[in-house]
Amino acid sequence: MAHSAAPAGNIPNHPLAVRMGVIAGVSHNVVIGTVMGSFGLMLASVEQRLGVSGEEAAIGIPLVLVGSSILAPFIGVLVARYSLRLLLMLGALLTVGGYFLLAFTNSYALYLVAYGLCFGPAMSLAGSIGPATLVTRWFHSNRGLALGIVHLPVVIAIVPWALERGLGHYAPTTLYAAIGTISAVLLVPLILLTVDHPPSHDETQAPEPAEKRTADGSFTFGQLLARPRFWALCLAAIASMTSSVLLGSLLVPMGMSWGFTRPEAALLQSIMSLVGIAGSVLFGWVADKLGGGRSLALIGFNCTILWLLLLQHPPFAVAAVVIGLIGMHGAGAIPTLGRGLSDTFGQASYSRGFGLNTLIGLPFIAFAVVGAARVFSITGSYDLAITAIAVFFVLAIALGLYGATGPKVEGPAAVPA
């Protein structure tokens, strides 16, 4: 076997790694934070300006989520084959273009274009896959922690607060144009400073003979999908992602079904988001210590207990602690998955693997949200949905531990003989 003498995690990071981390963090935060943070507050103005119903206006975010998820595997391939700087720039320009389209159009069709064809691809290019791949390429040491810091939801916490105040003084079209301008000022100069790869191209390669790897040193989709450990890591992470989206979508009606008031249930949702900020960094650090698979198993174990506690319909103070901890664990899914995929299949395979994971997770998340709402409409309780999530986390424990088995890539060109 030809490989580096040191494990990949002990290779020092290049001096430019911190710059790449800053670029990735700003790109992720600006694209996802502005799109997700502005949508709800702008809905009423969209209905009035475009003359559409609330349901028609609300289609925007599902378009973004479905579009970005479906495109994710293809964008994973593009990121592996072509200039990451150009692809990040494309995502930035689509984001900026989407906001200016929203600022100047009175057409519902163009409103859908902005969310489906501008923000959807931008979310994968410059919001999720692109930034995470940049970090994965440049960080050997503390890669999980770097991924956790990059994914801190800073902008999404600021945008609603700023927009709520802005709507009292400026027209919604002016605010859309302002978001687009600020996005351009923040993203374009930084992305121009992006360097696609470390100078030595020292990313770990797929642990296969060279003739079985792609030209960029990664696994193909077929090779990844044929490996049980890839499915184990993905499904263990998807359990956590599904949990977070389910609570984020239904926590207000869920809390009210437990006897809390609407303001109390909304406060629980805020607590979940705020505590989640700490989880991104904490579990990034844990993933560097334990590895991605074991960290996903730890998240599964803890979340099994936390979701079973929700079955007891605890009082508000206890529910706040439990839901805050669920939010903290949910935010840890991306850095732990990133560490697991890159350690097991090589840094070069990360963008393909993360893109596939995004697509694989879509039906689980959609089924959980729709199914939980349906269960409540039939039974008047969310208990069955809560139980199902707890069972999913029990499976995640076993899947994470299995995903942690087997050899890890060891150097920039780790290849079996």
Higher confidence at residue 125 or residue 408?
A: 125
Q: What is the pLDDT of residues 115-125, one digit of tens each?
A: 999 999 999 99
SS (H, E, C) 234-299: HHHHHHHHHHHHHHHHHHHHHHHHCCCCHHHHHHHHHHHHHHHHHHHHHHHHHHHHHCHHHHHHHH
Per-residue confidence (pLDDT) for residue 4, from 0 to 100: 41
CB count, 10 Å around CB of 218?
A: 27
* Rounded average pLDDT over 193-198: 90
Higher confidence at residue 263 or residue 114?
A: 114
Total number of residues shown for the chain: 417
Which amino acid appears at position 388 of this protein?
Answer: A
Partnered with residue 415 across adjacent β-strands are: 2
Does the structure show a pLDDT above 70 at 202? Answer: no
Place of tokens 């984020």: 248
**With contact defined as beta carbons under 8 Å apart, do 57 and 103 qualify?**
no
CA distance 42 to 175: 10
Share of the chain above pLDDT 70, in %: 91
CA distance 135 to 398: 28
Q: What is the pLDDT of residues 50-70, one digit of tens each?
A: 888 877 887 888 888 888 888
- C-alpha dihedral sign at 288, 124, 365, 179: positive
- C-alpha dihedral sign at 199, 203, 209, 213: negative
End-to-end alpha-carbon separation of the chain, Å?
4
Q: What is the pLDDT of residues 325-375, one digit of tens each?
A: 998 998 888 889 988 888 888 877 888 888 888 889 888 988 888 888 888
Who contacts 231 (Cβ-Cβ below 8 Å, separation ≥6)? 225, 399
Q: What are phi and psi of 258, to 5 degrees?
A: -90, 0
Q: What is the pLDDT of residues 70-105, one digit of tens each?
A: 888 889 888 888 899 999 999 999 999 999 999 998
| CA R_g for the chain | 21
Long-range CB contacts (within 8 A, 24+) of 252-260? 253/376, 254/382, 255/319, 257/376, 257/380, 257/381, 257/382, 258/313, 258/319, 259/313, 260/316, 260/319
Go through the domains of the chain in sequence order and give each one's CATH number: 17-192 (1.20.1250.20), 210-403 (1.20.1250.20)
> Burial, 145: exposed, middle or buried (Cβ in 10 Å; 0-12, 13-18, 19+)?
buried
Kindly write down the DSSP assignment for every residue of 137-155, as one continuous string. Answer: HH-STTHHHHHHHHT--HH
User: What token pair was written down for 121?
Assistant: 């691809």
Who contacts 157 (Cβ-Cβ below 8 Å, separation ≥6)? 33, 37, 273, 274, 277
